Amino acid sequence: MSRKLFGTDGVRGTANTYPMTADLALRLGAAAGRYFGNDGANGHRVVIGKDTRLSGYMFENALTAGLTSTGMNVLLLGPVPTPAVGMLTTTMRADLGIMISASHNPHHDNGIKFFGPDGFKLSDAAEAEIEALLEGDPAYAPADRIGRAKRIDDGRFRYAERVKSTFPAGKHLTGLKVVIDCANGAAYRVAPEVLWELGAEVIPVGVAPNGRNINEKCGSTSPALAAETIVAHGADMGICLDGDADRVMILDETGKVADGDQIMALMATRWAAEGRLNHGTLVATVMSNLGLERFLQGKGLRLERTAVGDRYVVERMRKGGFNLGGEQSGHIVMTDYATTGDGLLAGLQFLAAMVETGRKASELARNFETVPQMLKNVRYGAGQDPLASKTVKDAIAAAEADLVGKGRLLIRKSGTEPLVRVMAECEDAGLLARVVDGIVAEVAAAS
């Protein structure tokens, strides 16, 4: 059974444009309610969190209407990070968790992500079954069995205590000055609170959401503001989260950025030295730099690659019994602590390394030399498939031939936007640029 609505991270699109309409959200809520409450019993629960987008109110209400119409009881968390929804789905014994967010996308986009009762994102198969139910009878509950909705006011505090519990016992952040950029998103309150409670001097940015400024010139995809703030205040490091706080970029004391690959390299070697890196393996996607793979091999460790998307990283981790994985983009998954990527938790792990080693952020954030990598995106129109073009296929084949023994090429469609992503790695900068630009030109011409 194939999926049409769901991408690599739930349903996503421009708010008030199909599929991200209130009508679709209501029907999707009813379909999910039918899927998870199909035994006809009353008392099934779903927790719903959201980020700070203006459209979040609309989708929260629409999903609630759909879910309660099938007898599901809804627990509304308000603005909380995506990993908090995963955690609270399990601790509140819910059948389903939903996060309303388009992650790092601009405010006019939104998305709906589903978590199962185990706190992990739903499988492709489960999402396909929910999609199929959209076309059928919504199976509304009798009037006396309609579900209830209730606001949960302490969700972020429950999440904060869980995150703090992962920091080494007896250690604190006293004496460290930390910039935290919350991208005007879901963690705008909880992240600064956690760092302050652990003893840090906190300099917050991106903590004034207005419904339209999420990820706007701030956060993990725009770290310049945090970098400037670090230098201006003489901070020891910075943590840049995205709109729903499931990804992170770490900045050192000079404002230089360390991406997910560098963070995973640090964590993998530390965990391996402590004997807690399961099977000596890190799980990452095909986007992770070749330099990371070579670095791990030099340490006697192994890198397993998956398709792009943190859901696929987590699926491989669970299947293989691995406990550390993530993406170059900053999703860091630690299944000993969380069911999905958690930017704040990863930031605390980096801070723990600083505290325990006494080393500067710049010393911990440069673990390997990256192989030159170039990534360019090409937007295409509705109904188009530029990768099916013969000229594009020929350009890709020629590029692959040029890179044999010198590097690697990855061409893929985004799972969340109408983009073709063209990525190559090669130590010959001239060849790298020629390969990527040549394919980009052909994809653009076919779009």
pLDDT at 41 over 70: no
Structural domains of the chain ordered from first start: 11-153 (3.40.120.10), 159-240 (3.40.120.10), 260-345+357-364 (3.40.120.10), 373-446 (3.30.310.50)
Would you say residue 195 has pLDDT above 90? yes
Task: Give the per-residue pLDDT at 137.
Answer: 80
**pLDDT at 38 > cutoff 70:** no
Arithmetic mean of pLDDT, 228-249 = 98
**Structural contact between residues 252 and 263, judged by C-beta atoms closer than 8 angstroms:** no
CB burial of residue 196 (10 Å; 0-12, 13-18, 19+): middle
414 carries an active-site annotation? no
DSSP annotation string for 137-188? ---PPPGGG---EEE-TTHHHHHHHHHHTTSPTT---TT-EEEEE-TTSTTT
What's the whole-number mean pLDDT along residues 186-210? 98
| pLDDT greater than 60 at residue 40 | no
Q: Which of 101, 103, 220, 222 is catalytic?
A: 103
Beta strand 73-79 with 11-14 is: unpaired
Identify which of 265, 202, 192 has the alpha carbon closest to the alpha carbon of residue 229: 202
Judge whether residue 332 has pLDDT over 70: yes
d(CA 420, CA 71): 41
The position carrying tokens 């710049």 is 362
Q: Which of 1-10, 210-219, 388-397, 430-439 has the weakest average pLDDT? A: 1-10
Residue labelled with tokens 């010198």: 406
**pLDDT (average), residues 155-163:** 98
Query: What 3-state class would DSSP assign to 309?
Result: coil
pTM exceeds cut of 0.85 = yes
What is the per-residue pLDDT for 415? 73
The total of other beta-carbon atoms located within 10 Å of residue 296's CB is 23
pLDDT recorded at residue 43:
76
For residue 180, give Cα distances in angstroms to 344, 354, 421: 9, 16, 30
Whole-number pLDDT of residue 4: 81
Task: Please tell me the predicted confidence (pLDDT) of residue 414.
Answer: 85
Predicted pLDDT at 370: 93
pLDDT tens figures, 78-130: 999 999 999 999 999 999 999 999 999 999 999 999 999 999 999 889 999 99
